[in-house]
Amino acid sequence: MIKILFILFFGLLSLKGTSQKPFFDLLVSSHEPIDGNEVEMIPYRSGDLYGFVRPNKPKQVLIKPMYKVVQSVYLQGAIVDKGQGFGLVDSKNKILIPLEYGALTKDGDFFHAINYGSKEAEYPYHHFFYNLKGELVFSQEAKNEVAFGNNAYAWFDYQDAIIVKNTDGFAVSRFPKIKRQFCLGIHNNYTCFRTKLNDTTVYSAYTHLGDLAVEIPIVSIPWLKGFIELNEGFYLFESSPNNRTFRNEAGWIESYRARLSSFELKESSIVERGTIRIGDGKREVMGVINMKGDTIIPFEYSRIYTKVNRRYIAVEKESQKMVVLDESGLKLSEFDHSKMDFRQQLQVLNEPIAFFDGLAIARIPVLKGDSLASRYNAKDSTVYYFTYFNQKDETIIRLDPKYTFVGNFSDGLAAVADVAGNLGFINTKGEWAIEPQFKLTIPKYGFDANDIPKFKGGFAYIKSVKGYIDKQGRHYYDN
């Protein structure tokens, strides 16, 4: 039996840019991070329009400002919009993909364009798939949004069937629609369905040729979205982001619940990590298992945070000490976290509690007797300051309490802003690499991933000025 690893879960394709139809949200303000190490053109804003210059050479104009939106930039070119639709242009302003689509995203080895009809249209989605040279491979009308992702096949809800096509656009299989059956998408090249039969829900997966690969009937369970086969006959089922249970082909239920964060939900992430953090609700402990179900990190922790850079930060249930673990569960260090507050990462940054560029963030109250206590009247109200510490529990940077926002390090720099929202960037020594000169407004429910001021490959997008800067603090915009 071929060992199958696949994931089933819902997720609408994240769209950037201006929709051509009224029932889609406008997302023109969100710019994807640009990696200056991989691109040949950097957006330069003049007034309300964007053009492009050479990386690290803001005076060398490649394309004069003419675009209303620059969504993202890749080695092949930039996804832009003049106001009539999204398309792709290269560094010489040659149009590779026509500027006429409601949305355009890079999807593996494809650029995936969509035009939208009305909600009432028989086929509200018209898909177009271009190769990396900008050549149209095929198009397809459908009732569903879809993308190839990491798969060699894509599915389309068309007429009275689910049609599966390969990357050349040829239909390789067709599944007639069945009452009370729902297509969960294609994962690891398997087309997956959920079918309701009386009091039984059947989860099934088919090869690209239409042959049945897996079928699991389960009686009286929550409305599950999908599952992953971790090992032969051993599955992780998902019903919601915080409700995942383990079952075998007979429907037997394992008491553990997976505790995956949004950073661990992608199919590629699970495969790359090879481990899953899970919780034992009865004992209120967490541990880590591998894809075979073997325990990698024992169930001795009240909390294990997301693995980043091969390290876990965890809290021991018995001692309540915070510890740093390697991938095998070996304790590398421990420290007292009783005064540490991690709400900045969880509520504002929406990022893992982990070490980035070797440093993690903690918010700590000003203690009585501290020289800052009288300065900030800490007796009357609690005042906090931010620190960056390493995995040896050594405080590397301690910031004045007037700095009420800090970001994780990326590319050797971290965003820091004071209570008035004056934003700059510090290096890993705590020195100002770019003096505060920008404005930052913290959203009520925290930042979206692409809106956090952060460097990648030498460039960062600053939302308040609608433009980019480099690590030397040079502006890629004028007013």
Q: Which amino acid is at 15?
A: L
> Does residue 19 lie within any of the structural domains?
yes
Q: What is the pLDDT of residue 449?
A: 76
Q: Kindly give, in sequence order, each residue whose CB lies less than 8 Å from that of residue 159, ignoring residues fewer than 6 positions away.
A: none
Length of the chain in residues, anyone? 479
Listed range (10-14, 140-144, 241-245) with the worst mean pLDDT: 10-14
Instruction: State the Cα–Cα distance between residues 429 and 110, nearest whole angstrom.
Output: 42
C-beta contacts of 285-288 below 8 A and 24+ residues apart:
285/317, 286/259, 286/314, 288/312, 288/329
Residue 380 has pLDDT above 50, yes or no: yes
Reported as a pLDDT band with limits 50, 70 and 90, residue 279 is confident
For 103, 110, 236, the CA distances from 129, given in Å and listed in that order, are 12, 6, 32
Decide: 338 and 367 in contact? Cβ < 8 Å: no
> Does residue 162 lie within any of the structural domains?
no
Reported as a pLDDT band with limits 50, 70 and 90, residue 227 is low
Buried b / exposed e over 38-63, threshold 16 CB at 10 Å, is: ebbbbbbbeeeebbbbebeebeeebb
**Phi, psi dihedrals of residue 187, rounded to the nearest 5°:** -140, 130
> Does residue 105 lie within any of the structural domains?
yes
Reported as a pLDDT band with limits 50, 70 and 90, residue 238 is low
| Helix H or strand E encompassing 96 | strand 95-101
Buried b / exposed e over 179-210, threshold 16 CB at 10 Å, is: eebebbbbbbbbbbbbbeeeeebebbbbbbee
Listed range (196-210, 322-336, 465-479) with the worst mean pLDDT: 196-210
Q: What is the DSSP letter of 356?
A: B
> Does residue 436 lie within any of the structural domains?
no
Question: Could you list the residue range(s) of the whole structural domain that residue 49 is in?
Answer: 12-149
Reported as a pLDDT band with limits 50, 70 and 90, residue 431 is very high
Listed range (24-28, 32-36, 167-171) with the worst mean pLDDT: 24-28
Higher pLDDT, 5 or 338: 338
State mean pLDDT over 68-82.
95
pLDDT digits (tens, 9 = 90+) for 142-196: 999 988 877 899 999 999 999 999 999 999 999 999 999 989 888 778 898 989 8
Listed range (215-219, 248-252, 465-469) with the worst mean pLDDT: 248-252
**How many domains is the chain partitioned into structurally?**
1
Listed range (42-56, 180-194, 210-224, 344-358) with the worst mean pLDDT: 210-224
Q: What is the pLDDT of residue 445?
A: 82
pLDDT digits (tens, 9 = 90+) for 302-319: 999 988 889 999 999 999
Residue 257 has pLDDT above 90, yes or no: no
Question: Largest Cα–Cα distance in the chain?
Answer: 74
Higher pLDDT, 238 or 285: 285
Instruction: State the Cα–Cα distance between residues 215 and 200, nearest whole angstrom.
Output: 12
Higher pLDDT, 452 or 7: 452
Reported as a pLDDT band with limits 50, 70 and 90, residue 261 is low
> Does residue 354 lie within any of the structural domains?
no
User: In 3-state terms, the chain is what percent helix, strand and coil (to 5)?
Assistant: 5, 50, 45
Q: Kindly give, in sequence order, each residue whose CB lies less than 8 Å from that of residue 199, ignoring residues fewer than 6 positions away.
A: 219, 220
Neighbouring C-alpha atoms within 13 Å toward the C-beta of 195: 13
Decide: 43 and 32 in contact? Cβ < 8 Å: no
State mean pLDDT over 72-80.
96
Q: Which amino acid is at 160?
A: D
Higher pLDDT, 226 or 437: 437
State mean pLDDT over 232-257.
64
State mean pLDDT over 86-91.
97
The whole-angstrom distance between residue 232's C-alpha and the CA centroid of its chain comes to 29
> Does residue 318 lie within any of the structural domains?
no
Instruction: State the Cα–Cα distance between residues 351 and 344, nearest whole angstrom.
Output: 9
Q: Please give the full DSSP string across 99-134, using - where no structure is assigned.
A: EEESEEEEETTEEEEEEE--TTSS--EEEEEE-TTS
Reported as a pLDDT band with limits 50, 70 and 90, residue 335 is confident
Instruction: State the Cα–Cα distance between residues 424 and 417, nearest whole angstrom.
Output: 6
> Does residue 233 lie within any of the structural domains?
no
The tokens of 380 are what?
């009357």
Residue 16 has pLDDT above 60, yes or no: no
> Does residue 428 lie within any of the structural domains?
no
Residue from 250, 223, 220 nearest 234 by CA: 250
Q: What is the pLDDT of residue 418?
A: 95
Instruction: State the Cα–Cα distance between residues 336 and 319, nearest whole angstrom.
Output: 10
Q: What is the pLDDT of residue 254?
A: 61
Q: What is the pLDDT of residue 170?
A: 97
Q: Kindly give, in sequence order, each residue whose CB lies less than 8 Å from that of residue 348, ignoring residues fewer than 6 positions away.
A: 405, 442, 446, 447
Residue from 473, 350, 470, 471 nearest 53 by CA: 470
Chain mean pLDDT for the chain: 84
